[in-house]
Chain A
Amino acid sequence: MKHLKKSLISKYVDNMIKDQKTNDAIKKHLDECVECRQVYDSYIKIDNFVKNFNVDIKDDLYLEFLNRKINHSKTKISTFRFSLSFALLLSLIFLLSFSLTLFTGRKNILKVENYTQNNVIDKSFSNFLSDGYSDIISTVDWTEK
């Protein structure tokens, strides 16, 4: 006698064989064949065990859930607060550095202004020399620098 494929028995146990003829043939074989019947019975036994597989819960899960929920929203608020203060700090730093660059920029502009002024003086000074205004030089106050 040709035995049933065990994968077919497994499918049969799960009621997953759609074809009625095949179903009937399997049932008939299981009634007659001890070997296949043993496989079928062990599958049923194992299934019953898994059906009853349960974790005994020792705690009030919902109460614990509520606690966690409250804590979660608290941390949410505090992370919000944290990010808010962080953002404030960042904008403060930005503002500070921005005003600093502005300030130093202004300083640079002043430097340039000074520089050009000096250049103008230098040029006019050399003009004095080259054009023979030596008598005017005596009027310049040298003690200033």
Chain B
Amino acid sequence: MEKNNSEDFNLIEQFLNGDENSFKTLFEKYSQRVLSLVYSYTKNYDDAKDITQEIFLKVYNSLENFKKRSSFSTWLYRITLNESISFLRKMKKEKNLVSIDEVNEIEIQNNSNDQNNYDRGLMEKILLSLPENQKIAFILAKKEQLSYREIGKIMNISEKAVESLIYRARENIRNFLKNELG
């Protein structure tokens, strides 16, 4: 983690000294992870891609303001969450019925995959249908392998709250699988 962090700092330093390729390296290192995180909010590839590009544009234009008080990834994921949340707010204003549609979609999908225990599509739908905070804390912990402390910093909540979110995420998924698939 530490080595990874100083590697990022070096890249940022080089970028600020005019080396565009260093930014490309950062982009290629993180864009897939950012996109996956955004996707867990948008549940739509095109929107996720669009927001990811906007996030990196923001990063590109404001890297000189990055104070290195946290790791680059923490800073980046924070921007990612903020952008995703503001996207969701905009969407919810546009159509209020999103959540109802989502529930129906999951049920249809579920009926067609009865026998397959950990079907990828179904699992993805269950994960994505979790409450926002649980989902993000869980993905950051498992996919990004971040500690409760780091997740807390990104989400602006306490370590204890992160612990509880992850536990509830696991339990929600487990109960869903138990109820629906026996």
Contact residue among A46, A49, A65 (Cβ-Cβ distance under 8 Å from B53): A65
Known: A46-B174, A55-B36. A11 touches B57 (CB 8 A): no
Determine whether A116 belongs to the interface, using a CB cutoff of 8 Å to chain B. no
Which B residues are CB-close (under 8 A) to A69? Answer: 57, 60
Q: Which of B78-106 contact A (CB under 8 A)?
A: none
Determine whether A20 belongs to the interface, using a CB cutoff of 8 Å to chain B: no
In B83-141, which residues have CB < 8 Å from any A CB?
118, 120, 123-124, 127, 138-139, 141
User: How many chain A residues touch the partner (CB < 8 A)?
Assistant: 29
A47 touches B142 (CB 8 A): yes
Taking CB atoms, residues of chain A closer than 8 Å to B138 are 50
Q: How far, in angstroms, from A118 to B53 measured CA to CA in the complex?
A: 77
Is the Cβ of B167 less than 8 Å from the Cβ of A64? no
A69 to B24, CA, bound (A): 13
CA distance A52 to B120 in the complex (A): 10
Q: Complex formed: what's the CA distance from A65 to B123 in Å?
A: 31
Contact of A62 with B28 in the complex, beta carbons under 8 Å:
yes
- Chain A residues closer than 8 Å to B171, beta-carbon distance: 6, 10
Chief secondary structure at chain A's binding surface: helix
Contacts of B27 in A (CB 8 A): 61-62, 65
The complex places the Cα of A68 from the Cα of B120 at a distance, in Å, of 33
Contacts of A39 in B (CB 8 A): 174
Known contacts: A45-B118, A50-B142, A62-B24. The answer to whether A10 contacts B174 by CB under 8 A is no
Q: With a CB–CB cut-off of 8 A, which chain A residues contact B173? A: 46
Q: Which residue of A lies closest to B56 (CB)?
A: A65
Whether A54 pairs with B57 at a CB distance below 8 angstroms is no
Nearest CB in chain A: distance from B70 CB, A: 20
User: Are A50 and B163 in contact (CB-based, < 8 A)?
Assistant: no
- CB contacts (< 8 Å) of B163 on chain A: these are 7, 10-11, 14, 16
Binary contact track A90-127/B, C-beta < 8 Å → 1, others 0: 00000000000000000000000000000000000000
Mark each residue of chain B from 53 to 70: 1 if its CB lies under 8 Å from any CB of chain A, else 0.
100110010000000000
* B24/A50 in contact, CB under 8 A: no
